[in-house]
Amino acid sequence: MSSALSHRGNGKEAIFLRTGQVSRRYITRPKSRRQAVDTDRKMILKYQKLAQLATHANDWLRKIANADLEKSLYENRITTGTRIDGQCIRLSTIEKYCGSVDMHLFREAVKQGKQFSTVRFDFRGYDGTLWCEPRENGDVMAGFSKEYRGCLNGYYYLLINDEYMIGYDID
């Protein structure tokens, strides 16, 4: 059986030709150091753009504002370096699952700097929880936990501004 290999386009696509069949496979090449730095820079700029819209303050948002663009989110200690880095969830999306009353109470807790936590609610097959914790210096940390049912492991997001949660950690 004869076969041939042909590269086309941007170098990421290869077409394998065999007698009587055509098969397409995508070749992934390792990122160069420059590409990795560019990706990290874009991700930090995304976080900074979203964080500028925040009406609350905390150490995490200050870390974002002062981040070194030559380092990754992990190296800047902004995230723990997981696959949900940069993933955003709108508060309006969470509201569809937790209800408008809980979302209103959450938003008020963030504005007033008061402690708040919802009971677990169904969120796309996970247990969801909204929480808000005031700090002694007047800062407010708030977030969303999306955990596997009956388990305390899952995905964790922090409130980056008044409309979005953004990926922070997985355990």
- The whole-number pLDDT of residue 1 equals 47
Q: Compute the average pLDDT of residues 121-142.
A: 96
Of 4-8, 70-74, 87-91, highest mean pLDDT = 87-91
pLDDT of residue 134: 96
Q: pLDDT, tens digit, for every residue of 10-21?
A: 555 555 555 555
Q: H-helix or E-strand containing 6?
A: strand 3-8
User: Mean pLDDT throughout 64-79?
Assistant: 94
Give the 3-state secondary structure of 117-136: ECCCEEECCEEEEEEEEECC
- Three-state DSSP class for residue 97: helix
pLDDT tens for each residue of 43-53: 999 999 999 99
Question: CA-CA distance, 11 to 16, in Å (whole number)?
Answer: 14
Helix (H) and strand (E) counts in the chain: 4, 10
Closest CA to 168 of 50, 17, 66: 50
pLDDT of residue 165: 97
